[in-house]
Structure 1
Amino acid sequence: MKQKILYVEDEPNLGKIVNDTLRLQGFEVVWEQDGALVMEHFKAFEPDVCVLDIMLPNINGYELCLKIRELQPQLPIIFLTAKVNTEDLVKGFEAGGTDYIRKPFSIEELIVRINNQLQLQQIHGGNNGPDQDIDEMTIGKYKYRPQRYELEAPSGIINLSSREGELLHMMAGKGSQIIERKELLLKIWGDDSFFNSRNLDVYIKKLRTYFSEDDNIEIQTLRGKGYLFLVR
């Protein structure tokens, strides 16, 4: 069965190129240019992934994302945006986006992002967190085996401590959604004291080092919010 993509883009030339390419890649696609008509398509089409431009006629991508989230809380939603400010990025994730691509982008990158979101959705089965029983997670060029706390990098195996493994599992399991600093502290350390907060900083730094062999993996700090674990 073909995976279904609801694609929303008001720029006709770009929209046609992306729409045609996704179809050639084997996806079933509905392409809409007017934000006001998107929800009608959404209910009838029941997509597996939504790809939303932010600047749209009548209803913008942020508002559409909020409407979609009311109906499908765990559906992958990828934002396409020319906006580069951190505030805009945070706004998109707070609206319910699970990934973003900055314009201009390559079609190859978009397809990788779509497939990554579909893979994460399959792994988590629509749950809010990672499946604790999964044997292996693919993260860019890496593979993580949570039951053994084993991270396979391009250069070899990295054996993680239990807390490093729990932290990675929680962050990677969010699927590019914001994970709050306090949530990490409470679930892994049991409280959000100053001492544990400093420990978290150390562990985040370690994870960044472990993933340094893949430039497409980024752990982004959002001040006052938490973190984004991004796989481009």
Structure 2
Amino acid sequence: MKILIADDERDICEAVRKIVERSGHTCFAVYDGLLALEAFERENPDLVILDVMMPEVNGFDLCRDLRERDARVPIIMLSAKCDIVDKSVGFAAGCDDYIAKPFNSQELSMRIEALLRRARLGSPDEPPRRNRSVVRLGDMEVRLKRNEVLVHGQYVNLTPKEFQIIAFLANHVGEAFSSQDIIANVWGEAYMPDSGSIAVFVRKIRNKIEDDPSKPRYLQTV
């Protein structure tokens, strides 16, 4: 899992990084609110840890902004202020947990794992995760709202269906789908092509986005 920590205290970021990496996850650290917004869009984290008092954008405002972008990503607030008023502001902003500094490393680790486990399990009552406007994967950039794909900064000429397939997969990075899954999500019930045609689409897309289509980095078969 990928975890984003935003805190202007670099010692705190380093401490959190060690806790996260000991649990086998990847940690990205930034030191102010504006950088956190950029990192959130770029890295697509599975969990976010925010300091309350940060330059540029404070943790409460940042939490509200992230919630507008993604309704389901788990968010933990860190703060040296732990009175009920600050906690109420944090939860009202959309955080899932609130931890006072200085924190116990084992407790933070357990709370992170609990939120990640809950996010993985999901719930039919939870709202669907909102699409990001831009998904960046290595040298490829998928601009979902503009129906554009760039590789190495160059626009890729895709048909509408080719883009829809890429957009669907870009919204579910790291997940595997059968041909029927792709058909159901891209074509829907109105038109059901033979599942073999998905292989044709995949081959055409790879020829356009992969440096070496025979060794794909982005669109892989499992």
Query: Smaller-chain TM-score range?
Result: 0.5 to 0.7
**Residue pair 2:19, 2:109 contacting (<8 A) in 1 also:** no
| Aligned residue in 2 for 1:123 | 121
Matched, 1:79 2:92: no
Q: Distance in 1 between matches of 2:116 and 2:14?
A: 23
SS at match of 1:74: coil
Q: In structure 2, how many angstroms separate the alpha carbons of the residues matched to 1:21 and 1:126?
A: 31
Superposed, which structure 2 residues align to 1:67-146 within 5 Å? Answer: 67-125=65-123, 127-128=125-126
Look up the match of 2:37.
Answer: 39
Q: Indicate if the aligned counterparts of 2:77 and 2:99 stay in contact, CA closer than 8 A.
A: yes
Matched residue of 1:31: which SS? Answer: strand
Gaps of 5+ in 1: 130-232
Deviations 1:115-138 (A, max 9, x none): 110111123247438xxxxxxxxx
Change beyond 3 A, Cα 1:90–1:69 = same
More strand by share: 1
Task: Find the counterpart in structure 2 of residue 9 from structure 1.
Answer: 7
Residues 68 and 126 from structure 1, CA distance in 2 versus in 1: closer, same or farther, beyond 3 angstroms?
A: farther
Q: Name segments (4+ residues, structure 1) moved above 2 Å.
A: 122-129
The offset of 1:81, in angstroms, is 1.1
CA RMSD of aligned residues (A): 1.6
Find the aligned partners of 1:105 and 1:19 in 2 and give their Cα distance: 14
Q: Which of 1 and 2 has greater Rg?
A: 2
Are the aligned partners of 1:8 and 1:35 in contact in 2 as well (CA < 8 Å)? yes
Equivalent residue for 1:52, pick from 45, 50, 53: 50
Number of aligned residue pairs: give it: 127
How many angstroms apart in 1 are the aligned matches of 2:123 and 2:26?
21
Tell me the residue number matched to 1:25: 23
Does the aligned pair in 1 maintain the 2:46–2:73 contact within 8 Å? yes
Identity %: 36
Supply the distance in 1 between the matched residues of 2:39 and 2:54 (Cα, whole angstroms): 16
Which residue identity does 2:114 align to in structure 1? Answer: N
- CA deviations over 1:35-94 (Å, ceiling 9, x no partner): 121111000100000011101111111011111111111111001111122111111011
Say which SS state the counterpart of residue 26 (structure 1) adopts: coil
Distance change >3 Å, CA 92–CA 108, structure 1 → 2: same
Contact 2:2 2:25 in 1 (8 A): yes
Change (3 A) 1:111 1:69: same
Conservation of the 8 A alpha-carbon contact between 1:77 and 1:98: yes
Query: Could you tell me how far apart the structure 1 residues matched to 2:83 and 2:26 are?
Result: 32
**What is the CA distance between 1:14 and its match in structure 2?**
2.1
Deviation at 1:24, TM superposition (A): 2.9
Q: TM-score, normalised by structure 1?
A: 0.52
In the aligned structure 2, how far is the partner of 1:7 from the partner of 1:21? 11
